Chain A
Amino acid sequence: MKKKNFIKGIKDGFPICIGYFSVAFAFGIFAVANGLSSLEALFISMTNVTSAGQLAAVPIIAGGGSFIELGMTQVIINLRYALMSISLSQKFDSGITLKDRLLIAFVNTDEVFAVATSQRGLLSKYYMFGLILTPFLGWSTGTIIGAVAGDILPSIITDSLSLAIYGMFIAIVVPEIKANKSTFACVMIAIALSCSFYFIPILKSVPSGFAIIICALVSAGIMAIVSPIDTKEAEENV
């Protein structure tokens, strides 16, 4: 049973692994292009395992931003994981100990969460260990290979691959805004704010991390007041 659950986890995690490898490859290229070393990029991926948070962190680190800016950026961008962890904790069977939770928490990414919570019934630790193993490996190896290859590959290839991460973000956002007008409004506000920080001279001086925090909190805050979600539905979905 242990082995069967572990193998089921590996099977379910493998598509995530493939996706992570390609996105992490693009992250490696991005990090090196911004002036980080290949090993630095690898360390970041191995200790964080989060695409959006890492992508936002690179310019802050490369630009010598403050630790406060970096820390706050990670809090805002990664806050969603807190909700996912709360939700995931209720799917665990009684065999999952504190030590197991400490380990699983490390790789509770959007995709791992989505696959885990879509399973029927309670989850065993062997399933969870199998599920997180290959995505973690895919994320790490993709980063180092991308970081090293980024220096060798011609710019036409690295240029193309650098858009893969944004492609992934678009893949997450578009189906949701297609189905939900309020999220669409939120995204439009966030984009308008983000463009303001990018193009308006006075706002340009705001560090990139803080700009993302402001865009996210203002647009999500406005929509949370104007159009609060159906909490019953939300509890079922998260």
Chain B
Amino acid sequence: MFDAKFFIYLAVMAGVTYLIRMIPLVLFKKKITNKFFLSLLHYIPYAVLSAMTVPAAFFATDHILSAVIGVLFALILAYKNKSLIIVAAGATVGVLLTELIYLMV
């Protein structure tokens, strides 16, 4: 059930991810001061997460409408600064309610 290629993929991603976390934790003692680099590191997580979410999230379910409602629920809860779990649960409930209505209509 496994092929060799999967383990190369696994080694590549696990290796890269671990080295990124490990090298600075072991070696660096000084703080980064380069303004451009610090700014880049500040913006990248938000850029990555939003690029991964839009538009992919809208196509994550069988019906685009349920995904739209799920995202909408999440946006409203996140705007109200609700915790990670509540927002994730809200997205789930949004999809579930929409698809249940779909089933009934």
Query: A: which residues have CB within 8 A of B?
Result: 15, 18-19, 22-23, 26, 37, 39-40, 43-44, 47-50, 52-57, 60-61, 64, 67, 70-71, 74-86, 88-90, 98, 101-102, 104-106, 108, 110-111, 155-157, 159-178, 182-183, 186-187, 189-191, 193-195, 198-199, 211-212, 215-217, 219-221, 223-225, 227-229, 231, 234-235, 238
Which of chain B's residues have a CB closer than 8 A to the CB of A80? 41, 44-45
Which of chain B's residues have a CB closer than 8 A to the CB of A88? 25
Query: B: which residues have CB within 8 A of A?
Result: 1-2, 5-6, 8-10, 12-14, 16-18, 20-26, 28-29, 31-33, 35-36, 38-57, 60-62, 66-67, 70-71, 74-75, 77-79, 81-96, 99-100, 103
Give the docked Cα–Cα distance between A61 and B67 (Å): 25
User: Which of B28, B67, B87, B103 has the most chain A CB atoms inside 10 A of its CB?
Assistant: B87
Main SS class of interface, A: helix
Main SS class of interface, B: helix
Which of chain A's residues have a CB closer than 8 A to the CB of B103? 156
Which of chain B's residues have a CB closer than 8 A to the CB of A61? 6, 9
Give the docked Cα–Cα distance between A19 and B90 (Å): 13
Give the docked Cα–Cα distance between A217 and B37 (Å): 12
Give the docked Cα–Cα distance between A165 and B20 (Å): 23
Give the docked Cα–Cα distance between A37 and B44 (Å): 31
User: Which of A39, A164, A166, A216 has the most chain B CB atoms inside 10 A of its CB?
Assistant: A166
The answer to whether A67 touches B12, judged by C-beta atoms less than 8 angstroms apart, is yes
Which of chain B's residues have a CB closer than 8 A to the CB of A50? 17
Contact with B20, one of A55, A75, A217 (Cβ below 8 angstroms): A75
Given contact pairs A61-B9, A67-B9, A85-B24, A170 touches B42 in the complex (Cβ within 8 A): no
The answer to whether A159 touches B61, judged by C-beta atoms less than 8 angstroms apart, is yes
Contact with B95, one of A37, A163, A175 (Cβ below 8 angstroms): A163
Please give me the residue from chain B that is nearest to A80 by CB atom. Answer: B45
The answer to whether B39 touches A171, judged by C-beta atoms less than 8 angstroms apart, is no
The answer to whether A231 touches B33, judged by C-beta atoms less than 8 angstroms apart, is yes
User: Which of A44, A54, A86 has the most chain B CB atoms inside 10 A of its CB?
Assistant: A86
Given contact pairs A48-B17, A57-B13, A167-B88, A172 touches B49 in the complex (Cβ within 8 A): yes
The answer to whether B8 touches A67, judged by C-beta atoms less than 8 angstroms apart, is yes
Given contact pairs A74-B13, A86-B32, A171-B84, A163 touches B94 in the complex (Cβ within 8 A): yes
Which of chain B's residues have a CB closer than 8 A to the CB of A22? 85, 88-89
Give the docked Cα–Cα distance between A183 and B45 (Å): 10
Give the docked Cα–Cα distance between A182 and B33 (Å): 20
Which of chain A's residues have a CB closer than 8 A to the CB of B67? 163
The answer to whether B78 touches A52, judged by C-beta atoms less than 8 angstroms apart, is no
Give the docked Cα–Cα distance between A219 and B26 (Å): 30
The answer to whether B92 touches A164, judged by C-beta atoms less than 8 angstroms apart, is yes
Which of chain B's residues have a CB closer than 8 A to the CB of A235? 31, 38
